[in-house]
Amino acid sequence: MIPTIALNDDHLMPQLGFGVFQVPDDDAHRAVATALDAGYRSIDTAAVYGNEAGVGRAIAESGLDRGDLFITTKLWVDGLSRDGVRPGLEASLERLGLGSVDLYLIHWPAPATDSYLAAWEGMEEVRDLGLARSIGVSNFLPEHLQRIVDLGGAVPVVNQVELHPALQNRETIAANTSHGIATEAWSPLGQGAALTDPVVAEIAEAHGVTPAQVVLAWHLQQGRIVIPKSVTPARMTENLEATRVVLRERDLEALDGLDRGARTGPDPENFNG
Ligand code: NAD
């Protein structure tokens, strides 16, 4: 059973989902079909991943009720304007073969373009039109969130940020929490790098579970949403079963101690697409 998180617009989001970054379209079709079979119900894609069509085919063929699925996609930087959001989302929906997504995110703030505030008005519009049930952001730093909140309209439901033991992003999590924004961890396993850490290995051995399950349980026990990626069926199931792992307080503290400020992706402060 996958736990859910109540978003600030009262919709529920599965706390553990399946990510498809760097998975080519055909492979995404296969991987998402396998993930849905394994029990995943939340899928995280993006226009820029180039695999929305493959994700959509897997959804259509699954025979699952649309209401049982939670589909997220993201607006790329080239659509960051008041009038760029709706065509961006409509093109994604066309590729996905869906009438709406459960969550639409601004992929990056691209601060040098100074366009994310205008784009947020477009996000509110697509939500009001029913094309996206919930709207949120990704890779937003505290100052970007503050400017959105100061607009006085909708508060993003989620901020999806890079977050794993080697990069714990504490200031951003604190800002999310203070605004009632759920924190969603991308690259929750540090793209696999977290799994070879000796502290992680030791905790895994103590609980008789795998390193990936330890890292995912660390996120889950702190209320974060996670979207690990694997195209290997056994690992998909292994990651799903992290929901059953209960870490001790001292395990959480040891994992908290692994922060080195080490990114796997770009720094949102100076990434502009
Ligand atoms: P991740 O941390 O999920 O790591 C994925 C890698 O870890 C896999 O390629 C595999 O090699 C390994 N792995 C996964 N499960 C394993 C297991 N059980 N045992 C051993 N190894 C295992 O990294 P990711 O794919 O970069 O991130 C996950 C998702 O986050 C993406 O697919 C995407 O949906 C999202 N994402 C979002 C952004 C953004 O800017 N919003 C950026 C990057 C990723």
Q: What are the domain boundaries of the chain?
A: 4-191+224-229
Read off the pLDDT band of 260 (50, 70, 90): very high
Question: What Å distances lie between residue 48 and 12, 35, 45, 126, 177, CA to CA?
Answer: 26, 21, 9, 19, 28
Ligand 1 atom index nearest CA of 211: 19
Question: Residue 18 C-alpha to ligand 1 middle, in angstroms?
Answer: 9
Q: Which residues partner with 75 through β-bridges?
A: 106
- How many helices and strands, by DSSP H and E, does the chain display? 10, 10
Ligand 1, atom 21, residue with closest C-alpha? 192
Read off the pLDDT band of 77 (50, 70, 90): very high
pLDDT tens column, 96-127: 999 999 999 999 999 999 999 999 999 999 99
195 pLDDT more than 90: yes
Strands 182-186 and 158-162: parallel
Read off the pLDDT band of 13 (50, 70, 90): very high
Q: What is the pLDDT of residue 166?
A: 98
pLDDT tens column, 16-38: 999 999 999 999 999 999 999 99
Question: Residue 21 C-alpha to ligand 1 middle, in angstroms?
Answer: 7
Ligand 1 atom index nearest CA of 234: 18
Question: Residue 109 C-alpha to ligand 1 middle, in angstroms?
Answer: 21
Please give the mean pLDDT across all residues of the chain: 98
Ligand 1, atom 3, residue with closest C-alpha? 228
Q: What is the pLDDT of residue 162?
A: 98
Mean pLDDT value across residues 171-182: 98
Read off the pLDDT band of 85 (50, 70, 90): very high
Ligand 1, atom 34, residue with closest C-alpha? 19
Q: Percent of the chain, pLDDT > 70?
A: 100
Ligand 1 atom index nearest CA of 230: 14
Q: Does domain 4-191+224-229 have CATH number 3.20.20.100?
A: yes
Output the CA torsion sign for 7, 9, 12, 18.
negative
Q: What is the pLDDT of residue 137?
A: 99
Mean pLDDT value across residues 43-49: 98
Ligand 1 is surrounded, with C-beta below 6 A, by 19-21, 44, 107, 138-139, 160, 186-192, 195, 212, 227-230, 235, 238-239, 265
Q: What is the pLDDT of residue 1?
A: 87
| 15 and 2 Cβ atoms separated by less than 8 Å | yes
Q: Which among 33, 36, 42 has a CA at the least distance from the CA of 226?
A: 42
Question: Which token pair is 203?
Answer: 């905790």
- What are the binding residues? 107
Q: What is the pLDDT of residue 47?
A: 98
49 is catalytic: yes
Read off the pLDDT band of 4 (50, 70, 90): very high
Q: What is the pTM of this model?
A: 0.98
Q: Which residues partner with 138 through β-bridges?
A: 160
The residues near 152 (Cβ < 8 Å, ≥ 6 apart) are: none
Question: Residue 82 C-alpha to ligand 1 middle, in angstroms?
Answer: 31
- What are the binding residues for substrate? 107
